Structure 1
């Protein structure tokens, strides 16, 4: 049980000897572990305790008494308040080293498996990379009106942002204008969030409106879109309620030039956040999977076909399966638009019983998985893996990867031959990874 209060606010000095998987410094006081926000390995810091727990305490850095050689000045003035980033004070190459350690620690501690070889960490743009995300919106009269930004480190509050160095520039420059726009709207108390997404063209903004907007507010939004070359969408209900305020917007999309493929998507669709890392990740996945004209590849959790369509350029046949019917429809359309005839897509909830799925009866030679944070254990347990010689697993959560790796190695007869971290979210503690399994 966490406790706060006067005793939880005490200050003391601490030596930091490790970095947690969440990007906090780790020290010990009187034998008890203390997690310290804003502290780095090798530092001595003055901290203020924030919470007390039975087995560990939490604190934040008040002053760095002895700095690490790896400490750098954070770029963003909101660092330490906004929860969007937690590692801006750590030089970039040390960030990815820490993520590589997080991956191997999880594989060993949770999965009791060790890769035969560690892949070099994959990196790309470290700043101005985030092309998809969600700003929270809150009207707080005591803070001067509308706040637009990510959550603060205390998630009860919204950070009052003026800039962001991790989002794409076309979004960063809109933060202040968005704040002013919503502050001028009659419905300023009923705009809950603004989602943003950008492909190769204009930014799309989805306003979550909790009430029907009046004509004046609609005109404000329309004028804002024209002034800032942004596509404006409203979301009065669930994800399927989204609609554009104009009917003549061009399709959103991005190119994968190396493969001659163009993907089109809707404003709430899932696309990989970091465009340059995504391109490098696709190339690595294909290199590791080694598809040939004789291979029939299964791509589970395929989304828009991010891996499926590039794989189809070298595999004999590729089958993509995804739980979101809208994404499946757009994957099919992307295949048709790009003239790819050897990719087929199916809609199926891969967390549920798939015994009646026709695609499941097909014989595959290779498998690619890119599951959400929960991992792929439900579908793996139902799969006939006979004949699948190689599996490439793209993970956004090392703990679920470790659990699934243990299952593949210990119960399904695979070797974990390679694994490595990928920096999809620089400046954060988020760990993306890729692993390769081969049949024994």
Structure 2
């Protein structure tokens, strides 16, 4: 019997007529898309699992690849589960909520093994332990969109799959319990504040010692709306900040000094709503601990931390006796890192602002000898750095990646520069989503 599967919204090329094919999903790629490799061109389809016979709607046709989504499942996989969220049909957040995370991790490892073989020419025969935690209640930061175009139907929630429409949510089980508990009170506040149409979004951030509710306003709010926002903060014991359209932030309840997070038990790092922070606190702590263990195994003492952000790895390494130089391109994050180092009296931890996409700056950095280098780049990866790494000057690398595709490209570059892939672990930072992260270590070839 045919099973109807929720279609993922997709952009359609207006010059192409959509076509429908019948096919069996063979495996998944690293983003959780079903792959039909025995079809020419190869087909990537969202919504399918290995072994499932599906009806697939093709919405984009390229020369070597077709992109589509599963419309109907003719025979369902035993690995398919029922989505846990009542908003699953429309919300674009948990793209893979029909897959058990444990099974998904196995499929991710298989996909990344194939990706590294194809792009980098590397064989991964021995994966290290996965880095993961409970798949729900983990997200400590989120941005809730607001749609107040209709005064009698104000929406607070997430964007719909493949569109800008806001889906009003009543719950979000991947948020930490304390953030979940704020959703309905915020909905009530929006309906009574009288100026919801002048608000863009609301950012929630749970720190180690306080919770932040930051409201983005597109114009000056009335005194009544400001008063009600202060009352909200006092009632729910949260820090409340108002961000104007220029990005300037005014704290209405509490202060930014109350907000921090802990990559390790002994380190607290100041953080703001607009700063990057790993949203899964427990997984982040495991990643930092893993990096420390690997560097201790290498007997490293002098470490260069590139793309260091606010010092997520740097400060914890310094606390454990390493001499660390952290480099980041965003000035505000460098200042936060320096401030945290001063607060913890970590004199062996220094920070600098440099553009790590600038070949000359990278070359200058890598002229110095370090026992090890940590790379924790954005999704674009660390191409410029990897092209200039010197195995004799920097014999060990710990690479934290949030994009397996750019990681595979960079792994190829490092291999060509005289490094070998020694350790590789899957990092489940965002359970139930298409996002995959990795931790890897490279050592100079002997």
- With structure 2 as the length reference, what TM-score do the two structures score? 0.88
Number of equivalenced pairs: 433
Cα distance in 1 for partners of 2:418, 2:342 equals 37
Q: Which runs of 5+ in 2 are unaligned?
A: 1-10
Query: C-alpha displacement at 1:328, in angstroms?
Result: 1.3
Of stretches 227-236 and 429-438 in structure 1, the one that deviates more from structure 2 is 227-236
Match of 1:194 in 2: 202
SS of the aligned residue for 2:132 comes to coil
TM-score calculated relative to the size of structure 1: 0.89
> Residue 3 of structure 1: CA displacement?
3.4
Q: Contact conserved, 2:334 with 2:352, CA < 8 A, in 1?
A: yes
Deviation of 1:58 after TM superposition, in Å, equals 1.5
Post-superposition Cα deviations, 1:158-206, rounded to whole Å, max 9, x if no partner, equal 2221111111112222223223322333332221111221112332122
Match runs of 1:207-226 below 5 Å: 207-226=215-234
Q: 280, 285, 296: which one pairs with 2:302? A: 296
The answer on 1:318 being equivalent to 2:324 is: yes
Q: Which of 372, 376, 395 is 2:382 aligned to?
A: 376
Separation in structure 1 between the aligned mates of residue 398 and residue 326 of structure 2, nearest angstrom:
14
Q: Distance in 2 between matches of 1:30 and 1:297?
A: 48
Instruction: Flag structure 1 segments of 5+ consecutive residues without an equivalent.
Output: none
Alignment match, 2:338 = 332
Question: Are 2:111 and 1:102 aligned?
Answer: yes
- Shift of the 302–67 alpha-carbon distance from structure 1 to 2, 3 Å rule, reads same
Which of the residues 79, 87, 90 maps onto 1:78? Answer: 87
Distance change >3 Å, CA 236–CA 365, structure 1 → 2:
same
Aligned-partner SS, 1:118: coil
Residues 32 and 108 in structure 2, CA contact (< 8 A), matched pair in contact too:
no
Q: Deviations over 1:27-67 (max 9, x none)?
A: 489756554433322223456x37242442413444x4432
Aligned equivalent of 1:67, options 76, 91, 99: 76
Match of 2:241 in 1: 233
Q: What is aligned with 1:425?
A: 430
- Does the CA contact (< 8 Å) of 2:392 and 2:444 recur in 1? no
Look up the match of 1:395.
401
Secondary structure of 1:127's counterpart equals: coil
> Do 1:116 and 1:416's aligned partners in 2 also have CA atoms closer than 8 Å?
no
Cα deviation, residue 264, structure 1? 2.2
Cα pair 2:389 2:414 within 8 Å, conserved: no
- TM-superposed CA distance for 1:6, in Å, is 11
Hey, what does 2:61 align to over in structure 1?
53
For residues 406 and 5 of structure 1, the distance between their equivalents in structure 2, rounded to whole angstroms, comes to 37
Q: Is the 8 A contact 2:400 2:440 kept in 1?
A: yes
In the TM superposition, residue 244 of structure 1 has moved relative to its aligned partner by 1.1
Q: Measured at CA, do residues 350 and 180 of structure 1 come closer, stay the same or move farther in structure 2, by a change above 3 Å?
A: same
Q: Measure, in 1, the Cα distance between the counterparts of 2:164 and 2:254.
A: 37
Q: Residues 61-210 of structure 1: matches in 2 within 5 Å? A: 61-62=71-72, 64-115=73-124, 117-141=126-150, 145-210=153-218
> Which position in structure 2 is the counterpart of 1:413?
418
Change over 3 Å in CA distance of 1:249–1:380 after alignment to 2? closer
Question: What is the CA–CA distance in structure 2 between the aligned matches of 1:353 and 1:238, rounded to whole Å?
Answer: 32
Deviation at 1:293, TM superposition (A): 7.5
Corresponding position: 1:275 with 2:272: no
Greater shift, 365-374 or 105-114, is seen at 105-114
Match of 2:18 in 1: 8
CA distance 1:249–1:406, shift in 2 (3 Å): closer
Pairwise CA RMSD: 2.8
**Alignment partners' CA distance in 2, 1:274 and 1:104:** 25
Residues in 1 aligned to 2:102 and 2:299: alpha-carbon distance in whole angstroms: 38
User: 1:14, 1:29 within 8 Å by CA — same for their partners in 2?
Assistant: no
Alignment of 1:348-387 (within 5 A): 348-355=354-361, 362-382=368-388, 386-387=392-393
* Further displaced range: 83-92 or 102-111: 102-111
3-state SS of paired residue (2:231): helix
Match in the other structure for 2:349? 343
In 1, distance between residues paired with 2:441 and 2:39?
Answer: 43
Counterpart Cα distance in 2 of 1:52 and 1:353: 37
- Displacement after TM superposition at 1:269 (Å): 1.6
Aligned to 2:7: none
Q: 1:423 to 1:140 in 2, by over 3 A?
A: same
Q: Deviations over 1:273-301 (max 9, x none)?
A: 10110111111112222277862110011
The alignment partner of 2:373 has SS state of strand
